[in-house]
Amino acid sequence: MIDIGFKLVEAERLASATIEEFGICSPEHIRIRDIAFAKGAMVVEEKLTRAAASIVKAGNRATIRIPPTDTMERRRFSIAHELGHLVMGHVVSIKKVCSNADMMDWYQSSQETQANFFASELILPAKLVSSRCDIGNISFEPIKKIAKDFRASLTATAIKFVRLCPEKCAIIYSTQGKIKWFYKSPDWWPFIHKDKKLDKRTLAYDFFVGQPMDPDPVEVDADSWVESRGLDEIVEHSIASTQYGFVLSLLWIKPR
């Protein structure tokens, strides 16, 4: 996986500057709709066709549209995503439409990835989240707790977690039985092959062949996920989204 490029760092910097601008120092202060309004964007909930969210700009004002049927976490992320487009000057035409795929674009340096990184930092500010990522036993449980407290999506929270975690861990997103993208902690060293077909020994594989996944963290053969280079086992904790057809796998190299 490529390192975070300059544009993604800049997206996070702009979000962090927004956090400072509004004096945010706790999760409950992150009122996304109010922040968007203060930045010149009104949020409207209405049914959208073939879109996850959209933003329309006219002069100095903009309107962000999101579906009312989405979860609260998804709506917050969509608003922050569209606001990212506005703040970063991506809305050069009158209207910009974002799809579900755009909201899951975490692995390129496109404008959609930039908007996702902006949204992640706005909803999950590193200054408030980093201490919660410094834990011993790695699993989805602390990630779920952070996601709940910050009213954030599990995917965005998992990415932020592994990037801030001092343990050797990685998050892998799989769809259609293949690894689509991944992010890793600073000290993670085993090589992960993007677009690799899932190994039958992984928990994630079970989901794509219609089998129930183990709900708990399990030690699996390291080479079922990575180029092991002497690493025998790795801890895998996987959860699936039946609605969107993907699996998030949290991998952890347990200290010996």
**DSSP per residue over 65-108, as a string?**
EE-TTS-HHHHHHHHHHHHHHHHTT---SSEEEE-HHHHT--SS
Query: Is 191 domain-assigned?
Result: yes
Whether residues 16 and 93 share a domain: the answer is: yes
Task: Pick the last residue of a domain from 108, 123, 138.
Answer: 123
Whether residues 46 and 92 share a domain: the answer is: yes
73 vs 237: CA distance, rounded Å: 22
Whether residues 51 and 106 share a domain: the answer is: yes
10-residue stretch averages of pLDDT, the chain, 256 residues long? 69 96 95 96 91 88 93 94 93 70 68 92 97 94 97 94 96 96 94 96 98 96 93 97 94 93
Q: Tell me the CATH number at 34.
A: 1.10.10
Q: What are phi and psi of 128, to 5 degrees?
A: -100, -20
Whether residues 119 and 24 share a domain: the answer is: yes
245: left (phi over 0), alpha (psi -120 to 50) or beta: left
Whether residues 117 and 157 share a domain: the answer is: no
Whether residues 115 and 28 share a domain: the answer is: yes
Query: Is 25 domain-assigned?
Result: yes
Whether residues 198 and 115 share a domain: the answer is: no
Q: Show the beta-strand stretches assigned E in the chain.
A: 41-45, 53-58, 61-66, 95-98, 169-175, 178-184, 218-221, 233-241, 246-252
Q: What is the amino acid identity at position 10?
A: E
Q: Are 247 and 174 in contact (CB under 8 A)?
A: yes
Q: Which pLDDT does position 2 carry in this prediction?
A: 40
181 vs 168: CA distance, rounded Å: 17
Question: Residue-wise over 166-191: b if at least 16 C-beta within 10 A, else e?
Answer: ebbbbbbbbeeeebbbbbbbeebebe
Q: Which pLDDT does position 1 carry in this prediction?
A: 43
Q: Which pLDDT does position 48 carry in this prediction?
A: 87
Query: Is 91 domain-assigned?
Result: yes
Q: Which pLDDT does position 95 carry in this prediction?
A: 64
Whether residues 15 and 114 share a domain: the answer is: yes
- Length of the chain measured in residues: 256
Domain count, the chain: 2
Query: Is 133 domain-assigned?
Result: no
Whether residues 110 and 165 share a domain: the answer is: no
Whether residues 164 and 245 share a domain: the answer is: yes
CA proximity to 238, closest of 170, 181, 145, 161: 170
What's the token pair of residue 212? 């129930």
Q: Which pLDDT does position 200 carry in this prediction?
A: 98
Q: Tell me the CATH number at 213.
A: 3.30.450
Whether residues 107 and 14 share a domain: the answer is: yes
Q: Which pLDDT does position 92 carry in this prediction?
A: 66
| Structural domain that includes position 97 | 6-123
Matching residue, tokens 């910050």: 150
Q: Quick check: helix, strand or coil at residue 34?
A: helix
Per-residue pLDDT tens digits for 37-49: 999 999 999 998 8
Whether residues 99 and 179 share a domain: the answer is: no
Task: Pick the last residue of a domain from 123, 142, 173.
Answer: 123
